[in-house]
Amino acid sequence: MASSNFIDYVKIHCRSGKGGAGSKHFRREKYITKGGPDGGDGGRGGHIIVRGNKQMWTLLHLKHKRHVKAEHGEAGSKSTSTGAEGKDAYIEVPLGTIAKDAETGDVLFEITEDGEEQILVKGGRGGLGNNHFKTPTNQAPRYAQPGEDYIEAWKILELKVLADVGLVGFPNAGKSTLLSVVSAAKPEIANYPFTTLVPNLGMVPYRDHQSFVMADIPGIIEGAHEGKGLGLRFLRHIERNSVLLFLVPADSDDIHKEFKTLLNELKQFNPELLDKDKILAISKSDMLDDELKEEIKKDLPKVPYLFISSVAQQGLVELKDLLWKSIND
């Protein structure tokens, strides 16, 4: 997943189609010189529709397509013929995309299933033809409705990564290394903060040909909920994960304190995140002997925990078992 290709936020200008005008036509045939009104209705203007596509994982295709327009509906005609509807404009998005109003920030809907369709901007209704307005006292109405105007608005599309397990930890906690070892994902790995600038997804194989999705998300720092570091861009993706796997390295000054800091950042961003299942993995544990592990255990938070080492391949089978149990419980 190349960092330059991962786009998780776009602002687009949308314009739906205008409704077609109703017709003011009167029936005229060879032996009927003064027939009644037979004007048809105008066609509906095209909607702008967002559609889920499970084959997509980024909003990159919308980065340079900032204007989306639907077609206008056609006018009604004689013989009560309704005008053609304007062609709808479709926007394909990855699963986990939410749509917002750019002015108010209100969430309009979210796309979570393949093929799911939601109307982002409605097309204008077609106007009624004069056929609808005839009455016993007005048998020849010479008016019809114009079509409804189009709607023009700025909308925001935001992608929140859909994964079973989200890796939570400070930069350099070993999240990318863990993902590269337990899955086929090849995230960029280096010994400096913020190597990971975009979420990396990996399919983790499990027993009996089963699997689950793990997301390595950019490292959190204290103050991330205020936008510091990679801030809100990181925290948005955590909301979609079923289980949160907290990764704290064994050489941390205070494992419990680091866990509480991470937990506090999630709470400040969205308190509901604390309701998710939490597992603590103490990474780089190949540097610990049994005596040190027993000493560390005395001050660990009251959540399920494991000592692991991605490099030495220690505790990874047990970790996958624990994650699988949490996902399926």
Candidate ranges 19-33, 63-77, 218-232, 257-271; pick with highest mean pLDDT: 63-77
Q: Looking at the predicted structure, is the pLDDT value of residue 194 above 60?
A: no
**Are 69 and 197 in a shared domain?**
no
- Average pLDDT across the chain, whole number: 84
Over residues 153-168, the mean pLDDT reads 85
Q: Looking at the predicted structure, is the pLDDT value of residue 115 above 90?
A: yes
Candidate ranges 60-69, 83-92, 236-245; pick with highest mean pLDDT: 83-92
**Are 299 and 216 in a shared domain?**
yes
- Residue 82 tokens read as 């309704």
**What is the tally of structural domains in the chain?**
2
pLDDT tens profile 207-261: 888 888 888 776 565 554 454 444 455 566 677 778 899 999 888 888 899 899 8
pTM of the complete model beyond 0.75: no
**Are 324 and 229 in a shared domain?**
yes
CATH of the domain at 70: 2.70.210.12
Name the nearest CA neighbour of 198 among 182, 178, 225, 218: 218
Q: Which of 159, 177, 193 is the last residue of a domain?
A: 159
Q: What pLDDT score was predicted for residue 159?
A: 85
**Are 144 and 191 in a shared domain?**
no
Over residues 310-314, the mean pLDDT reads 86
**Are 320 and 176 in a shared domain?**
yes
User: For residue 327, with 0-12 CB atoms within 10 Å meaning exposed, 13-18 middle and 19 or more buried, which class applies?
Assistant: middle
The C-alpha atoms of residue 103 and residue 156 are separated, in whole angstroms, by: 9
Q: Which of 138, 159, 180 is the last residue of a domain?
A: 159
Q: Which of 101, 126, 159 is the last residue of a domain?
A: 159
Name the nearest CA neighbour of 326 among 220, 217, 175, 206: 206
Name the nearest CA neighbour of 239 among 228, 253, 252, 225: 225
Q: What pLDDT score was predicted for residue 58?
A: 81
**Are 125 and 265 in a shared domain?**
no
The C-alpha atoms of residue 153 and residue 5 are separated, in whole angstroms, by: 27
**Are 204 and 141 in a shared domain?**
no
Residues 6+ positions from 30 with CB-CB distance below 8 Å: none
Over residues 54-76, the mean pLDDT reads 90
Over residues 59-81, the mean pLDDT reads 91
Q: At what angle do helices 175-182 and 316-328 cross, to 10 degrees?
A: 90
**Are 183 and 308 in a shared domain?**
yes
Count of beta carbons in the 10 Å neighbourhood of residue 50 = 24
Confidence of residue 5 (pLDDT cuts 50, 70, 90): low
Q: What pLDDT score was predicted for residue 197?
A: 53
**Are 245 and 178 in a shared domain?**
yes
**Are 186 and 104 in a shared domain?**
no
**Are 4 and 150 in a shared domain?**
yes
Domain that holds residue 206: 165-328
**Are 12 and 130 in a shared domain?**
yes
CB 117 within 8 A of CB 47: no
CATH of the domain at 276: 3.40.50.300
Top pLDDT among 16 and 213 is at 16
Between vectors from CA 303 to CA 297 and to CA 304, what angle results, nearest 5°?
80
